């Protein structure tokens, strides 16, 4: 291998159709006392890694990337930094489901039959995970991560070509603008995906300048990244509900899954309105037909905000184990903020993971 070439080892996974690329080797240890510190260093000094793996010819903006790093919290077995088209979300349900499944099924974290508890450290804090393992395969993953809270209600913005859009702002690992889909003529179906993406793009561009970018505990979390389209809620039985849902990721991506953090945000908003209570569940269904189940747990507080703990249940599938060669002299590779974070030697992911 040339001294201008570097190697990244990846496990490609998908949850609900959303692809997460788990980077297990090829990145130098990042400075920082916590996973949040490491994520902010990467965002500030090494964003070339995100752009490389989410852009042609190496990837696609609709994917996500999860970099395995050493955890700082004594309870965590591994840390992970989430990268998407919009930047660096501090928590993500689908990415957590994918990362846990990849680490277990690849043997990085030893897998056991039955219900297995795993703790991962995201930039937002700990994700407590229960994996259901049957016949040597992770069948379901339930994750409890960042508590969600309603930050602002009854907001309005004038969107060019669409008119006035009313929305609520909810934090669930990132800020979500929660939009009533029916108010704008959407049923959140597969035939509306292009129209939902166009609407989401115009909305986020119009809404961003006036919205908060701070979190009471995490500080500056950046401009609005997500819009979540809420369809009507149908009662399926005692304490069980379902709703068509779609999440737009800026710029230009409509998620294939209904998204875990989008579902958590929906639960927080429903609880605020008295529409759902502890122990109840909501199954969100994306325009592609994939499903997550969110379950309401106990209330808590985040700063001055009443907040809600919840779990998200879904499944992931492993699609590929690959070794990517990065030629630093390739004109399609922006090496300026990439070269120093790539390791010239092959690493071992098990060195970063606690048993």
Rounded distance, CA 249 to CA 24, Å?
25
Place of tokens 């960042």: 146
Please calculate the CA angle 26-29-35 and round it to the nearest 5 degrees: 115
Please calculate the CA angle 339-340-341 and round it to the nearest 5 degrees: 95
Could you report how far apart the first and last alpha carbons of the chain are, in Å?
33
Interhelix angle 93-105/260-272, rounded to 10 degrees, is: 140
Phi, psi torsion values for 12, nearest 5 degrees: -90, 130
Q: Kindly state the tokens that stand for 172.
A: 């669930």
- DSSP, residue by residue, 20-60: EEEEEESBPPPP-SSHHHHHHHHHHH-THHHHHHHSTTT--
**Who contacts 37 (Cβ-Cβ below 8 Å, separation ≥6)?**
31
Using only the alpha carbons of the chain, give its radius of gyration. 20
**Who contacts 173 (Cβ-Cβ below 8 Å, separation ≥6)?**
89, 90, 91, 92, 93, 122, 124, 145, 146, 148, 261, 264
Please calculate the CA angle 168-278-305 and round it to the nearest 5 degrees: 40
Q: Kindly state the tokens that stand for 126.
A: 């700990």
CA 320 to chain centre: 20
Catalytic residue of the set 15, 20, 25, 92:
92
92 is catalytic: yes
CA 210 to chain centre: 24
Active-site residue set: 92
């Amino acid at each position: 291998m040339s001294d201008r070439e570097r190697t990244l080892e990846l496990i490609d996974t998908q949850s609900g159709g959303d692809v997460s690329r788990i980077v297990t080797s090829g990145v130098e240890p990042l400075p920082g006392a916590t996973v949040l510190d490491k994520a902010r260093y990467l965002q500030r000094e090494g964003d070339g890694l995100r752009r490389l793996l989410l852009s042609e010819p190496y990837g696609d903006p609709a994917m996500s990337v999860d970099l395995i790093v050493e955890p700082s919290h004594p309870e965590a077995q591994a840390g992970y930094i989430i990268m998407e088209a919009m930047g660096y979300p501090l928590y993500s349900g689908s990415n957590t489901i994918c990362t846990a499944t990849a680490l277990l099924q690849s043997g990085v974290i030893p897998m056991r039959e039955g219900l297995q508890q795993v703790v991962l450290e995201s930039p937002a804090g700990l994700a407590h995970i229960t994996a259901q393992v049957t016949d040597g395969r992770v069948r379901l993953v339930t994750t409890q991560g960042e508590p969600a809270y309603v930050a602002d209600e009854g907001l309005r913005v004038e969107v060019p070509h669409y008119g006035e859009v009313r929305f609520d702002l909810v934090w669930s690992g990132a800020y979500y603008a929660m939009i009533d889909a029916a108010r704008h003529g959407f049923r959140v179906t597969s035939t509306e995906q292009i129209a939902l993406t166009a609407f989401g793009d115009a909305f986020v561009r119009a809404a961003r300048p006036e919205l908060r970018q701070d979190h009471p505990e995490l500080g500056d979390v950046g401009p609005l990244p997500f819009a979540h389209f809420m369809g009507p809620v149908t009662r399926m039985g005692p304490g069980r509900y379902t709703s068509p849902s779609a999440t737009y990721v800026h710029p230009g991506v409509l998620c294939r899954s209904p998204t875990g953090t989008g579902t958590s945000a929906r639960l927080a908003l429903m609880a605020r309105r008295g529409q759902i209570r502890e122990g109840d569940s909501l199954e969100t269904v994306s325009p592609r037909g994939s499903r997550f189940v969110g379950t309401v747990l106990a209330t808590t507080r985040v700063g001055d905000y009443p907040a809600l703990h919840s779990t998200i249940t879904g499944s992931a599938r492993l699609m590929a184990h690959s070794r990517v060669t990065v030629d630093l002299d390739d004109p399609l590779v922006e090496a300026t903020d990439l070269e120093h974070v790539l390791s010239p030697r092959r690493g071992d992911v098990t060195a970063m993971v606690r048993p």
